Amino acid sequence: MAVLEIHKAGDPVLKKVCEPVKRIDKKVKRILKDMAETLYKTKNGIGLAAPQVGILQRIVVIDLQDGNGLLELINPVITKKEGSQVVGEGCLSVPNFEGEVERAVYVECEYTDASGKKQFIATEGLLAICLQHETDHLDGILFTDKAVTITLKAPED
Ligand SMILES: [Zn+2]
């Protein structure tokens, strides 16, 4: 396993549309492991999309740090969105900023898990927001592209 470098806003890799994963082979499983390790190394990260570590494939890892553990999503697609809310967001690729973004309240998401099984999530709350944020990354969209307000974060530490 390896901690990967997180690419920051301004890096063209973050603006690219990612390719779907065709086959879940050893390489994809390795990417999932490395992405999880990279996510857990961050301070407050709850999600990481493959382009953030320079990999242009439709792969996302999420751990809301709420005891539900790691979600590994291959080729996630949001198939339904309902409602609208404005929420505060940050991003590991835009470390010094936070912003308010309009997001759906409820989403349904289909994806393939690491064992190749098709999975389905219907959810609200933080997971719904995180799924929208991370699947945007796979299409080259950062929260700052959508934010209604962007503010400089107070320095931590
Ligand atoms: Zn992000």
pLDDT at 157 over 60: no
pLDDT at 109 over 90: yes
Residue linked to tokens 């390790």: 37
Q: Exactly one of 72, 89, 98, 134 is catalytic; name it.
A: 134
Domain boundaries, the chain: 12-152
pTM of the model: 0.96
- For residue 45, report the distance from its CA to the centre of ligand 1, in Å: 9
Answer yes or no: 134 catalytic: yes
**pLDDT tens by residue, 43-67:** 889 999 999 999 999 999 999 999 9
- For residue 72, report the distance from its CA to the centre of ligand 1, in Å: 16
Mean pLDDT, the chain, integer:
96
Q: Which CATH architecture has domain 12-152?
A: Alpha-Beta Complex (3.90)
- For residue 19, report the distance from its CA to the centre of ligand 1, in Å: 18
- For residue 124, report the distance from its CA to the centre of ligand 1, in Å: 18
